[in-house]
Amino acid sequence: MVTGRTFEALAHTRRREVLRILHEHDQLSAGEIADHLTIARPTLSGHLNVLKDADLIVGERDGTTIWYRLNTSVMDDVLCLVFGLMSQEHATVARLGALRPMKEAV
């Protein structure tokens, strides 16, 4: 489910990079994600927590390792919502364009 936390999490460039990296791989540990970024591990841990709280990623513990992967159902919901907003905006712009008086030819 998409919430305000979802969009707050998506607002940060580093968190979007983490999502991109996870999209390119099935699952990664925090260390493997860090290998793709120039970011301190405690900072990455904070970003991972925000992404988990927003349900954008899932972390599954296997012994001492947590494996992270995208929560594709929430990502699908985000995309549907964004595309829905874009189509509404496009329809509004088209309607407004049709309401504007045409300029007379000079």
DSSP secondary structure string for all residues of 40-104: -HHHHHHHHHHHHHTTSEEEEEETTEEEEEE-HHHHHHHHHHHHHHHHHHHHHHHHHHHHSPPPP
Over residues 3-29, the mean pLDDT reads 91
List pLDDT tens digits, range 57-66.
999 999 999 9
Q: What's the domain count of the chain?
A: 1
Looking at per-residue pLDDT, the higher value among 56 and 75 belongs to 56
Q: How many residues are listed for the chain in this entry?
A: 106
Whether 32 maps to a domain, the answer reads yes
Prediction pTM value: 0.72
Whether 105 maps to a domain, the answer reads no
For residue 50, the one-letter residue type is V
Q: Which residue range(s) make up the domain with 28?
A: 4-99
| Portion of the chain with pLDDT greater than 70, in percent | 78
- Spatial CB neighbours of 44, under 8 Å, sequence gap ≥ 6: 18, 30, 33, 34, 37
Per DSSP, what are the bridge partners of residue 28? Answer: 68
